[in-house]
Amino acid sequence: MSLANNELNLHALAELVDNAAHKAQAIAQLSAQGESLSLEQAYKVQDLSVARRISRGEKQVGIKMGFTSRAKMIQMGVEDMIWGPLTDQMFIEEGGEVSLERFIHPRVEPEIAFLLNKPLSGNVTLAEAMAAVEAVAPALEVIDSRYDNFKFSLEDVVADNCSSSGFTIGAWQAPDANLANLGMVMEFDGKAVQIGSSAAILGNPYRSLAAAARVAGEAGKTLPAGSIVLAGASTAAQAMTPNTHVRLVCEGLGVAEFNIK
């Protein structure tokens, strides 16, 4: 089946990925099903699937950037930065518990989160991006591709809301720290499983924030004050295992942690 460029098919694909996420049941990659989506169509599917979440009562609380580090691009075999909305349903209380049953084949990755105190949209300088930050925090993101074997094309993963599934945020810090090169160690039960630096995130996580403003602007959107922005993982993601304490220790920013059951 080849994809006709009409709304109806995009709605059907949005329903497909949304149901897969909602029921935690994997589906074949859209590209493997003969659906050749353009990147623009993929973002439209993402938009429509997020609209389904909103209609179920979820609220958008921010956005996440993806593939902002070489480590992630290499792990997943893609070359471009992506982005997608975060909703309140994805929020994992810091130090709380998360059940593997909610997911298909979840992975966790170390991130840095920003909290905005001013709206951001369009082309902004690094200084403007920094001036819009109320607070910064270490964060962990749970990603769970809805596709079989966690395999996808760039368009597939965009349509699947960039694998977004969960996130937890450590204690917010004043944004006065220099974020350009902070050591980031992600531990499972106290043992380091991924080690990196915030420098891996576009050379400086604030660049990811500026990129978030730009892509939001290109999509005709604004990141409102109060938004959370996840800058993207600094290392490869790690498969989640049962009964595990996950902790990110980020130099100068502190920790973010949760328990997998």
Binding flag, residue 141, Mg ion (CB under 5 A): yes
Q: Closest Cα to residue 22, out of 49, 42, 44, 41?
A: 49
Tell me the residue number closest to ligand OOG, measured at CB: 66
What is the signed CA dihedral for 192, 193, 197, 201, rounded to 10 degrees? -160
Among Mg ion, ligand OOG, none, residue 207 binds (CB under 5-8 Å by kind): none
What token pair was written down for 127?
């200084």
Q: How far is the CB of 75 from ligand OOG (least distance, A)?
A: 7
Binding flag, residue 228, Mg ion (CB under 5 A): no
Q: How far apart are CA 136 and CA 50, in angstroms?
A: 26
Binding flag, residue 109, ligand OOG (CB under 6 A): yes
CB 255 within 8 A of CB 187: no
Burial state string for 234-259 with b = 16 or more CB within 10 A and e = fewer than 16: bbbbbebeeebebbbbbeebebbbbe
Q: How far is the CB of 165 from Mg ion (least distance, A)?
A: 10
Q: Closest Cα to residue 20, out of 86, 98, 108, 102?
A: 102
Q: Closest Cα to residue 75, out of 218, 233, 254, 250?
A: 233
Site for ligand OOG in 220-249 (CB under 6 A): 232-233
Choices 7-15, 49-57, 141-149, 150-158 (CB under 5 A): range interacting with Mg ion: 141-149
Binding flag, residue 233, Mg ion (CB under 5 A): yes
Q: How far is the CB of 249 from ligand OOG (least distance, A)?
A: 18
Judged by CB, which is closer to ligand OOG: 115, or 230?
Answer: 230
What is residue 39's DSSP assignment?
H
Q: How far is the CB of 16 from ligand OOG (least distance, A)?
A: 17
Draw the binding track, 52-81, toward ligand OOG (x: CB under 6 A; -: no contact).
------------x-xx----x---x-----
Binding flag, residue 208, ligand OOG (CB under 6 A): no
Judged by CB, which is closer to ligand OOG: 72, or 207?
Answer: 72
Binding flag, residue 156, ligand OOG (CB under 6 A): no
For residue 158, what is the enclosing H or E element?
Answer: helix 154-159
Binding flag, residue 258, ligand OOG (CB under 6 A): no
Q: How far is the CB of 5 from ligand OOG (least distance, A)?
A: 25
Count of other CB atoms within 10 angstroms of residue 45:
28
What is the signed CA dihedral for 87, 93, 96, 99, rounded to 10 degrees? -10
Q: List beta partners, residue 120.
A: 223
The site for ligand OOG (CB under 6 A) is made up of 64, 66-67, 72, 76, 109, 141, 143, 145, 157, 162-163, 232-233
The site for Mg ion (CB under 5 A) is made up of 141, 233
